[in-house]
């Protein structure tokens, strides 16, 4: 669950309207790192670079773009938070859709980036809490059509990935319905097991659904944001909306160790919201860069909330979620792999190898007797294992960070 949702303010009303939105970027730390801050020009491979600099001065956090207009085509946005403590995220918007984002932007961390292909039109860079919060970006011209074999392979992979994402959400519908039935029966042990069985489906496609907003709600209103309603954590609670979704049920099952009338209402609401998500996902299409950015974002989720133990604060099944994020990233990469081998075979082999290494390391914590099939991610196990798991994921992130730019310039 992205921290962004709870931190949005009504100052973004300039972009507000009812929508169903897709973003292929999730919350994250620094998987798409840039070595230094770009000048905001064009790189040698035809990608336009836009620097987003976050600074603080005189009590004001400033969000500044290096360019206000770019040519249509691939654009890399590199965000460098030098000193702004009040800005933790940056989003690229068009027509109320989130096209790309970076979160957890603590001051002093290495710059991070995302790459998207932009057609001609008006866009906005949104920096919640910054001055200004919304900055216009004009894109001129049109994207040249690419019809080569490599691009065809990448597009075919993106189309096939849509089937995978749809299947995951359809399976989640059944798993969440089983959770509701278990909660309705009042059987705590069966409900805990059903909870663990339902979690991986969302984690596999988490980067695809971040930002979905139901019709009739503004993007800043968490009451209509499906990611909030399905996967909100206590650490990012929006007091105006309250707690809903998986983790509110988790709290009752694993912290309070009881099923109440409220637990049953929460489980029923979760079933309804996952059903709404299922209908939305069936309408989606994906671009190759969505898969590339999404794969990196899923690993950012691992680093920001699974490794730390924040995700499953009561059940401690964080390694189940870790495995779900890892599998989703690997699937996104796999659907792009035929095209990626033509772009850079060495890089593709390296990423595949690092996926295998991380898989093998995670497998050492499997426990068929445990909920979800992995050891509980207790403070003691985190102390023992968090560093080596984080290092393995970081190496994989470093490789994946190059994918989106490779894909859009193929």
**CATH code of the domain occupying 1-410:** 1.20.1420.20
pTM of structure: 0.75
pLDDT digits (tens, 9 = 90+) for 119-128: 899 999 999 8
Task: List 115's β-bridge partners, or say none.
Answer: 76
DSSP symbol at 137 = E
Is the per-residue pLDDT at 244 higher than 90?
yes
Phi-psi region of 373 (alpha: psi -120 to 50; beta: other; left: phi over 0): left
Q: Does residue 331 have a cis peptide bond before it, meaning omega lies within 30 degrees of 0?
A: no
8 Å CB contact between 202 and 232:
no
DSSP symbol at 213 = B
Phi-psi region of 221 (alpha: psi -120 to 50; beta: other; left: phi over 0): beta
Residue 11: pLDDT band (50, 70, 90) is very low
Angle between helical axes of 318-343 and 288-301 (0-180°, round to 10): 150
What does the pLDDT read at residue 298?
A: 93
What does the pLDDT read at residue 315?
A: 98
pLDDT digits (tens, 9 = 90+) for 302-327: 998 999 999 999 999 999 999 999 99
Sort strands 69-71 and 97-102 into parallel, antiparallel or unpaired: unpaired
Element containing residue 57 per DSSP (H, E): strand 48-57
Task: List 81's β-bridge partners, or say none.
Answer: 54
pLDDT digits (tens, 9 = 90+) for 167-203: 999 999 999 999 999 999 999 999 999 999 999 999 9
What does the pLDDT read at residue 18?
A: 30
Which one, of 124, 104, 111, 81, lies nearest residue 2 by Cα?
Answer: 104
Alpha carbons 217 and 310: distance in angstroms, whole number = 28
Alpha carbon 353 to chain centroid, angstroms: 23
Element containing residue 371 per DSSP (H, E): none
The length of the chain, given as a count of residues: 410
Is the per-residue pLDDT at 212 higher than 80?
no
User: Which 3 state secondary structure label does DSSP give 393?
Assistant: helix
Alpha carbon 291 to chain centroid, angstroms: 11
The structure tokens 């400033």 sit at 62
Q: Which residues contact 173 (CB under 8 A, 6 or more apart)?
A: 271, 274, 275, 278
Element containing residue 352 per DSSP (H, E): helix 345-363
Alpha carbons 88 and 104: distance in angstroms, whole number = 5
């Amino acid at each position: 669950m992205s921290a962004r949702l709870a931190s949005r303010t009504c100052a973004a009303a300039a972009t507000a309207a009812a929508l169903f939105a897709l973003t292929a970027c999730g919350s994250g730390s620094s998987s798409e790192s840039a070595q230094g801050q770009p000048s905001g020009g064009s790189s040698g491979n035809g990608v336009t670079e836009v620097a987003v600099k976050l600074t603080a001065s005189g009590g004001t956090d400033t969000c500044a773009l290096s360019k206000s207009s770019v040519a249509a085509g691939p654009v890399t946005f590199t965000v460098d938070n030098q000193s702004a403590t009040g800005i933790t995220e940056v989003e690229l918007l068009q027509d109320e859709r989130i096209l790309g984002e970076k979160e957890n932007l603590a001051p002093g961390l290495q710059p991070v980036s995302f790459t998207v292909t932009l057609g001609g039109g008006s866009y906005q860079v949104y920096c919640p809490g910054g001055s200004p919060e919304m900055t216009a970006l004009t894109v001129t011209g049109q994207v040249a059509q690419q019809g080569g074999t490599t691009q065809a392979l990448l597009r075919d992979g993106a189309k096939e990935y849509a089937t995978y994402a749809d299947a995951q959400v359809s399976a989640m519908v059944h798993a969440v319905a089983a959770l509701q039935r278990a909660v309705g029966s009042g059987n705590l042990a069966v409900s805990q097991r059903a909870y663990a069985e339902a979690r991986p489906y969302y984690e596999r496609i988490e980067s695809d659904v971040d930002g979905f907003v139901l019709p009739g709600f503004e993007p800043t209103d968490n009451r209509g944001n499906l990611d909030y309603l399905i996967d909100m954590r206590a650490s990012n609670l929006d007091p105006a909306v309250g707690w809903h979704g998986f983790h509110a049920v988790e709290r009752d099952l694993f912290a309070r160790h009881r099923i109440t009338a409220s637990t049953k209402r929460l489980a029923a609401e979760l079933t309804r919201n996952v059903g709404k998500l299922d209908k939305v996902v069936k309408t989606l299409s994906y671009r190759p860069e969505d898969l590339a950015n999404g794969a990196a974002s899923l690993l950012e989720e691992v680093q920001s909330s699974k490794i730390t133990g924040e995700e499953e604060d009561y059940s401690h099944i964080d390694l189940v979620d870790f495995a779900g994020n890892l599998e989703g990233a690997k699937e996104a990469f796999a659907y792009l792999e035929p095209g990626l081998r033509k772009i850079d075979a060495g890089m593709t082999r390296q990423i595949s190898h690092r996926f295998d290494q991380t898989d093998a390391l995670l497998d050492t914590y499997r426990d068929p007797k445990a909920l979800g099939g992995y050891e509980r991610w207790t403070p003691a196990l985190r102390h023992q294992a968090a560093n080596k798991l984080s290092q393995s994921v970081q190496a994989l992130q470093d490789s994946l960070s190059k994918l989106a730019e490779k894909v859009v310039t193929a």
